[in-house]
Structure 1
């Protein structure tokens, strides 16, 4: 109640003040006062006057305030009903409701997903249409679909080279299923006396292994034995010890096997293990050739052994897929695959057994993995035909293996089966050893020539001997073409066929002349001279 009374008292005071304001404004209209008031407050000017004991205001022009901007919708009253304060004005109980910002993480994540979707669609479209390699796309399309010829058959484009093996791994499986049973494991034994106690490695007798991987075991058997080694050899004379491990393949159902000569070289006993059998067969070496590094073995037991067919290596193309099967490091029937990397390769290997260098010509290069023990095994095409016989691998590089081409094997296989001598491949030569013409040699000969080849020696009855070529003759060229070094002249001669007529342009005792001769065959002479 007291509070109610106070409120009423406040209202009366306000009413009295309103009446006072009205009286004051009336006085102002008469222009008799400079006094003005606003609300309960008042001020007195220096020139203000009083009337009837009260200050009289003078009218003052007041500029109205600018319009207040409307409150944003985010402002809300803090109650359902409006409240008024004691002066009769609406209460200022306003609350600001802050807008919550949207999550930036969610926005970034959605943008990332949208970008990935767009990139995926573009990559898929580019891959399917090959928009960046249109020529490759066209070639691949022809290779996959094939072109229909007039006869109704489908042929592939010769320019289309598949990036992956055709039809997947099923081709390798079919090759292994077809040719695998004909691949055999070959183990050789030798008497310890003949092996000089150096049989600590099964690959000791493999000259290719020693060439590419080094003679890691060759002399270890004798190291530290001093004079006791002879006693041990004498006491163990006749005892068979392992000599080597290799591979081979049956090419005739009656038991004829092809392998490398170095696999069986120096062996007293050769044992052959056929897939699916536990007991090895004892094989007989029918014929072998060190120059070609080929040998033919024969096993007895049945007349229907699994076989593999020798194909035509001339038809094999660089880039064609190849499959190698063998027994690397003794792991039987290991399968590796690769491509035919190159053809007509030549390598030279010094044989430990003969002490002479062996030159391998016309080899097939492949990147199919070949290791010691693969020697003698087949290199097959995807039709299951033997294209080559694995013979060597380079340890200094990745994926460089070599195989003897099947066409070389086909030329001599019948002679090897019948143990007939195989004629050596003709080697063109003239029968003279040559050296380069150096300034010192030219001074001794008293010639003004600065280039050419000086004849050092002549082989008796050789083409050079019969043509009256003499020591200290300077060969300037052949058939009118100059050759500045002896190696250039030798290379030219070795490219000629045996029996080809040549004209050597020479200088003898300061006079130039021509010498006529025919290229001979180095195999007909026992001399070891180069030319």
Structure 2
């Protein structure tokens, strides 16, 4: 669990991101122990039905009667999974496991093993699962519990991205699995009903209902920054991380990720529209391949505009150019003002970044640049973003 005061106008916001859901040591197993959590063993919370490999929410009622939410939950729950991880706790080979030998030879004690709990959901019948990266970060063992199976599956992390806090897992179930479809979070309207399903405190397949409270929220935790999150008052608790936020069509419009710790009803989810463009990269390449311009940007203030002889503040200032990067090769220089990208005006660094993110590596961008009182056009070929950036 991580705490940090927010920034960017959200200084009041003290947030808890469920890093790895709920972490406990082996000596304190309360959150995932059946005897101390829910008295349910993993997977019991949603029954023992047998499901086929089809979209779990494909057959929903056309109207929204009094049973609509229950129907959606019944259809979607089989595709929601419990994720248990083990972090640390590597054992020394025998005979050095004996405390006497460790003391005699001056060997350090093994790092204490920690277990953690989170949620996820199946996104394809062949066993691909979407969750938060922080749920599996640093895990040396990942197990996934799926309704209808007696034992959890060992899962492989096939792709992860820390910046977006997304991870894709893979299990081999031997038969098609129920799965959820990603909806369009951009079409979701503030005030719409939403449904969260997950495993808070080890209570498998817990359902909470609320509304979409806001869109486009930026937040900060202790070591992560998030952009463009969905806000909901559907209850989100430790262990919900990675679980789906559903609309009333049974589609996933968000991945439950964070909550404000000193308030009730202020939770956050990564929108499905953030996931969709990068999902194939995570599944096939193990990482997100990002286009890269190779510059450090700064907003154009009135003082900067006046100093550069501009009639008004506009565009984005190039503060630094990475040597041998795409921008440098195209002739962009420190102190240039980028006014337009492909004919579209840009007036903030975030606008420019979003336009870059819509491109693919190898594609070009036409930049209209202000330099020393003149305007010029440059063509930049985007490269793959290096890991150090």
Fold shared per TM-score above 0.5: yes
Q: Write out aligned runs for 1:56-71 (5 A).
A: none
Aligned residues: 303
Counterpart for residue 75 of structure 1? none
Deviations 1:148-185 (A, max 9, x none): xxxxxxx99xxxxxxxxx533x2222222222232221
Match of 1:283 among 132, 138, 155: 155
**Is 1:431 aligned to residue 295 of structure 2?**
yes
**Is 1:328 aligned to residue 200 of structure 2?**
yes
Counterpart for residue 295 of structure 1? 167
Cα distance in 1 between the residues matched to 2:278 and 2:288: 7
Shift of 1:477: 8.0
Residues 343, 523 of structure 1: alpha-carbon distance in 2 compared, 3 angstrom cutoff? farther
Cα distance in 2 between the residues matched to 1:417 and 1:495: 23
**Is 1:318 aligned to residue 190 of structure 2?**
yes
Counterpart for residue 210 of structure 2? 338
Structure 1 contact 463–517 (Cα < 8 Å) conserved: no
- Secondary structure in structure 2 of the residue aligned to 1:235: coil
Q: Write out aligned runs for 1:46-61 (5 A).
A: none
Counterpart for residue 174 of structure 1? 71
Higher relative contact order (CA 8 A, sep 6+): 2
Residues 420, 435 of structure 1: alpha-carbon distance in 2 compared, 3 angstrom cutoff? closer
Q: Which moved more, 1:291-300 or 1:321-330?
A: 291-300
Structure 1 contact 328–373 (Cα < 8 Å) conserved: yes
- Secondary structure in structure 1 of the residue aligned to 2:289: coil
Structure 1 contact 328–372 (Cα < 8 Å) conserved: yes
Counterpart for residue 501 of structure 1? 366
- Secondary structure in structure 2 of the residue aligned to 1:167: coil
**Is 1:189 aligned to residue 86 of structure 2?**
yes
Q: Write out aligned runs for 1:413-424 (5 A).
A: 413-424=279-290
Cα distance in 2 between the residues matched to 1:494 and 1:455: 13
Match of 1:459 among 322, 325, 332: 322
Structure 2 contact 122–130 (Cα < 8 Å) conserved: yes
Residues 234, 392 of structure 1: alpha-carbon distance in 2 compared, 3 angstrom cutoff? same
- Secondary structure in structure 1 of the residue aligned to 2:180: coil
Counterpart for residue 59 of structure 2? none
Larger Cα Rg: Structure 1 or Structure 2? 1
Output the TM-score relative to the length of structure 2: 0.61
Structure number with the higher strand fraction is 2
Cα distance in 1 between the residues matched to 2:255 and 2:351: 31
Cα distance in 1 between the residues matched to 2:227 and 2:165: 8
Cα distance in 2 between the residues matched to 1:359 and 1:501: 29
Structure 1 contact 430–519 (Cα < 8 Å) conserved: no
Deviations 1:215-252 (A, max 9, x none): xxxxxxxxxxxxx9xx9982336x7x233210112333
Shift of 1:282: 2.4
Output the TM-score relative to the length of structure 1: 0.47
Residues 450, 233 of structure 1: alpha-carbon distance in 2 compared, 3 angstrom cutoff? farther
Cα distance in 2 between the residues matched to 1:343 and 1:394: 16
Structure 2 contact 299–349 (Cα < 8 Å) conserved: no
Shift of 1:186: 1.0
Structure 1 contact 324–380 (Cα < 8 Å) conserved: yes
Cα distance in 2 between the residues matched to 1:459 and 1:415: 25
- Aligned-residue RMSD, C-alpha: 4.3
Cα distance in 2 between the residues matched to 1:375 and 1:350: 16
Residues 431, 297 of structure 1: alpha-carbon distance in 2 compared, 3 angstrom cutoff? closer
Counterpart for residue 231 of structure 2? 365
Structure number with the higher helix fraction is 1
- Return 5+ residue gaps in structure 2 as ranges: 1-61, 92-101, 341-345
Counterpart for residue 236 of structure 1? 110
